[in-house]
Structure 1
């Protein structure tokens, strides 16, 4: 994940809390019932329950449209850090050299280090290149755990890293190559399920 601009997740949460506080002071609500209690948080949605057919991922910024509820469902906690990068942003490689980003992406990190990430390539991707990207992603310490449910082509992976286990979906939606990952975690129970729900939240935000 390549970081460009960095902004604390606490700032957004603080604005949301202040907004709710102001609404609660306006009056006009039945006793004992707040506006927040009238609008339940949306439940996470699995890929099986989501209509991906015909979905197109816009090759454009999308991070500010990702549902805060979806982020918290994925992480199992309120994020303590948030990073974004855009097409054309410069970043430093591990060897000290610099390169330029050709994607739009973002990540949210929980206090325990679990990160929910997503990015979409800025240049258009053909089906042939998408198949190569899927094959390349499956190399190393990765196992395919699904395919065909997040665009065509698409691939779901479970990968082992030095920090733990990471789960991901990658897929071609229109001409946009979209990736969403969740992890690393020490205990991978429900990891694939949580990743599916996270990817639905990402796709909702990235749809053209």
Structure 2
């Protein structure tokens, strides 16, 4: 082989080796493909330790994740909050509220539903909380929900029916704050599914209203 041709082939070979090495190194150090964020599911009430939460008697609605509202109602929703001392249609007769609360309703054209939550503005003693639990059990159209996990101490869970709507309500004492929440959806939804969605909604509410740790 002529000397000139041998030199050209050797030069080409030496050029290809670094390129091949660079390709191998590049493939080994390439970042892994980005993972899609997991869909919001919330925390089941059965996995929530309400004994470790202390709730503020203060506005909390803006701290509730929008994903929690959507997961509870199963659709996009519009939410509105109200403060202690405000006149609101959230209370029967549009009375003045002595609580901090919020209401989220399914948007127009969607399956009707309502997610609510509120915390009393005045402090609540343990004795008063026991009376509230007893009174809740006598609410017309409602019955105690058997086997429900604790939602504060003391606490109560209720299932209520109003026409073609059924609601699950959890209420309980956190420190000196009486916290309540409910989820109402069409009665055609199986009760176990409604209880699960209501539990996750109420946990999201308790976590939003809780005193920050640290």
CA contact (8 A) 1:161 1:184 kept: no
Give runs of aligned pairs for residues 112-151 of structure 1, distance below 5 A. Answer: 112-139=111-138, 140-146=140-146, 149-151=150-152
Structure 2: gaps (5+ residues): 1-30
Query: How does 1:1-208 map onto structure 2 within 5 Å?
Result: 33=34, 38-79=36-77, 81-91=78-88, 99-110=95-106, 111-139=110-138, 140-146=140-146, 149-189=150-190, 190-208=193-211
Alpha-carbon shift at residue 32 of structure 1 (Å):
7.9
Unaligned runs of 5+ in 1: 1-29
1:99-123: per-residue Cα shift (whole Å, max 9, x none)?
Answer: 3211000011113220111000010
Q: Secondary structure at the match of 1:53?
A: helix
For residue 57 of structure 1, give the secondary structure of its aligned residue in structure 2: coil
Aligned length: 173
Following TM superposition, by how much is the alpha carbon of 1:38 offset from its aligned partner in structure 2, in angstroms?
4.0
Q: Does structure 1 conserve the Cα–Cα contact (< 8 Å) formed by 2:171 and 2:179?
A: yes
Which structure has the larger Rg over C-alpha atoms? 2
SS at match of 1:181: strand
Higher-helix-fraction structure: 2
- CA distance in 2 between partners of 1:48 and 1:166 (Å): 19
The alignment's C-alpha RMSD in Å is 2.1
Instruction: Give TM-score, length-normalised by structure 2.
Output: 0.74
* Contact preservation (8 Å) 1:41, 1:69: no
TM-score by length of 1: 0.76
More strand by share: 1
